[in-house]
């Protein structure tokens, strides 16, 4: 029999972990059940470093059960949400069902291919740990193949990388590929010394890092060009088939490597009416993160859209800080409601944004006395913020040591091709 006050949280990302942690540490009386299709939390901002062999998976991930093991009111259920039945306070998972008194949806986003099936089938996404491992394996396998063949056209396709999406993830992975090309590639693959390894960054807007300041955009664009990244702005990928990227202006790029960071979308769940979803399939919530039209179902983080915050009438940006702050506010409101106190509407405190470009190069837009940093200072800020944001001390230490090794040696010994199910 389920606890009378049973809170079920769907999704163990920034928002889900934050609200579970806050409720469990408080005197709030409820059973907390976290549901996720994986048995671990991971840190999405560093996925690209796993994909390029500069960090190990264990540096940015941690098991839920170990993280919450000291809390007696916590339980974990590995499963995937299939349906919500609000009238029965019940959810259907792919491996059973759960009842709840309050349901919190914190499922984040998935890659958005904008209806292009060829891109969906053939491109390399960058949203999950599995995506990052697959991308790392694919890059290394194609470099191995390129080192063995003599056909220059085929070799060129294998060593040309097209990154679709000029946001932080696209900029960061283009920069990391450039670092790989500059410091590692020809040492490990002398057979490719006559191949340039072209890196393209494609975006439909007229600038990279569109949500950031003009100073950040200009510095990032200039830095990438200096590093040899070929930037194509005002272009969208129309199709990707037969190892050819087709751009909107009719030009093509022959490549076996299209890395997709061009957009995200929230998920739609059976049982939630269509009219409850807004732009980007995000669940429409009120000022307290309750889904409109429901009594006890909430959504936080990237999966929701809130238009009641005066500074963000079109909804908040899909950033980690929004997710964390919404989780904090909702946890306080749940505790306030239990005590009969007044609820506090969510107001986002925008602390700024940042992106790393390469070694010693980053940009940071902050809401302090100094609004913008770039170069080495911004790079140090980025390093510090991302280290402190990792989930536990072990991850912080191992990631720092990996970064220190990479910085001093300009190398990283994590370039192994490991595919489960294959003979090794």
What are the residues facing 42 on neighbouring strands? 61
pLDDT at 228: 96
- Please name the CATH architecture into which domain 6-109+266-338 falls: 3-Layer(bba) Sandwich (3.50)
Q: How confident is the model at residue 75 (pLDDT cuts 50, 70, 90)?
A: very high
Percent with pLDDT over 90 in the chain: 88
Taking residues 308-319, what's their average pLDDT? 95
Q: Could you tell me where in the chain the CATH 3.50.50.60 domains are found?
A: 6-109+266-338
Per the residue annotation, which of 172, 226, 256, 275 is the catalytic one?
172
Q: What is the largest CA-CA distance in the chain?
A: 74
CA gap 334, 300 in Å, rounded: 13
Q: Which helix (H) or strand (E) holds 203?
A: strand 199-203
Percent with pLDDT over 70 in the chain: 98
Q: Could you tell me where in the chain the CATH 3.50.50.100 domains are found?
A: 117-262
Q: How confident is the model over 194-218, as pLDDT tens digits?
A: 888 999 999 999 999 999 999 999 9
CA gap 92, 99 in Å, rounded: 9
Rounded to two decimals, what is the model's pTM? 0.92
Q: How confident is the model at residue 412 (pLDDT cuts 50, 70, 90)?
A: confident
The tally of CA atoms less than 13 A away on the side-chain side of residue 247 is 21
| 319 phi and psi angles, rounded to 5 deg | -125, 160
| Burial (CB count within 10 angstroms: exposed 0-12, middle 13-18, buried 19+), residue 115 | exposed
Q: How confident is the model at residue 424 (pLDDT cuts 50, 70, 90)?
A: very low
- Please name the CATH architecture into which domain 117-262 falls: 3-Layer(bba) Sandwich (3.50)
The tally of CA atoms less than 13 A away on the side-chain side of residue 50 is 23
Taking residues 330-341, what's their average pLDDT? 95
pLDDT at 196: 86
Listed in sequence order, the residues at least 6 apart from 175 whose beta carbon sits closer than 8 Å to its beta carbon are: 223, 224, 227, 229, 356, 357, 358, 361
Q: What one-character DSSP code corresponds to residue 342?
A: P
Taking residues 226-241, what's their average pLDDT? 96
Q: What one-character DSSP code corresponds to residue 423?
A: -
CA gap 405, 400 in Å, rounded: 9
Give yes or no for residue 422 having a pLDDT over 80.
no
CA dihedral 140→142→148→149, nearest 10 degrees, is -170
Listed in sequence order, the residues at least 6 apart from 51 whose beta carbon sits closer than 8 Å to its beta carbon are: 126, 131, 132, 133, 135, 136, 139, 173
Q: How confident is the model at residue 324 (pLDDT cuts 50, 70, 90)?
A: very high
Give yes or no for residue 423 having a pLDDT over 70.
no
**SS3 state at 359:** coil
User: Catalytic annotation on 191?
Assistant: no
pLDDT at 249: 93
Sign of CA dihedral 37, 41, 47, 51: negative
Q: How confident is the model over 149-190, as pLDDT tens digits?
A: 999 999 999 999 999 999 999 999 999 999 999 988 889 999
In contact, 271 and 86? CB cutoff 8 Å: yes
């Amino acid at each position: 029999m389920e606890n009378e006050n049973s809170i079920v949280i769907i999704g163990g990302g920034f928002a889900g972990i934050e609200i579970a942690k806050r409720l469990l540490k408080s005197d709030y009386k409820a059973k907390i059940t976290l549901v996720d299709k994986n048995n671990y939390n991971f840190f999405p901002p560093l996925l690209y470093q796993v994909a390029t062999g500069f960090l190990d998976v264990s540096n940015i991930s941690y098991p839920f059960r170990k993280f919450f093991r000291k809390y007696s009111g916590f339980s974990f259920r590995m499963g995937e949400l299939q349906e919500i039945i609000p009238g029965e306070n019940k959810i259907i998972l792919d491996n059973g069902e759960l009842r709840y008194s309050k349901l919190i949806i914190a499922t984040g986003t998935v890659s958005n291919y904008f209806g292009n099936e060829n891109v969906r089938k053939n491109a390399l996404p960058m949203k999950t740990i599995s995506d990052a491992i697959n991308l790392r394996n694919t890059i290394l396998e194609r470099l191995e193949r390129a080192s063995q063949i003599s056909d220059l056209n085929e070799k060129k396709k294998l060593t040309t990388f097209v990154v679709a999406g000029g946001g932080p993830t696209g900029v960061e992975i283009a920069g990391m590929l450039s670092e790989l090309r500059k410091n590692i590639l020809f040492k490990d693959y002398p057979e490719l010394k006559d191949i340039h390894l072209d890196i393209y960054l494609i975006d439909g807007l007229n600038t990279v890092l569109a949500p950031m300041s003009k100073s950040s955009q200009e510095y990032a664009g200039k830095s990438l060009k200096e590093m040899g990244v070929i930037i194509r702005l005002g272009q969208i990928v129309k199709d990707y088939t037969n190892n050819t990227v087709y751009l909107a202006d009719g030009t093509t790029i022959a490549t076996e490597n299209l890395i997709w960071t061009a957009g995200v979308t929230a998920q739609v769940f059976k049982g939630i009416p269509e009219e409850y979803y807004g732009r980007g399939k995000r669940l429409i919530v009120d000022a307290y993160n309750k889904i409109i039209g429901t009594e006890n179902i909430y959504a936080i983080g990237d999966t929701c859209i809130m238009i009641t915050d005066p500074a963000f009438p079109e909804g908040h940006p899909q950033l980690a800080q929004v997710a964390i702050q919404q989780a904090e506010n909702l946890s306080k409101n749940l505790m306030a409601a239990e005590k009969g106190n007044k609820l506090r509407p969510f107001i986002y405190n925008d602390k700024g944004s940042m992106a790393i470009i390469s070694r010693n190069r980053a940009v940071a837009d902050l809401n302090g006395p100094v609004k913008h940093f770039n170069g080495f200072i911004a790079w140090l800020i980025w390093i510090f913020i991302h280290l402190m944001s990792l989930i536990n001390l072990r991850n912080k230490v191992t990631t720092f040591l990996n970064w220190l090794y990479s910085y001093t040696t300009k190398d990283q010994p994590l370039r192994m091709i490991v595919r489960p199910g294959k003979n090794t």
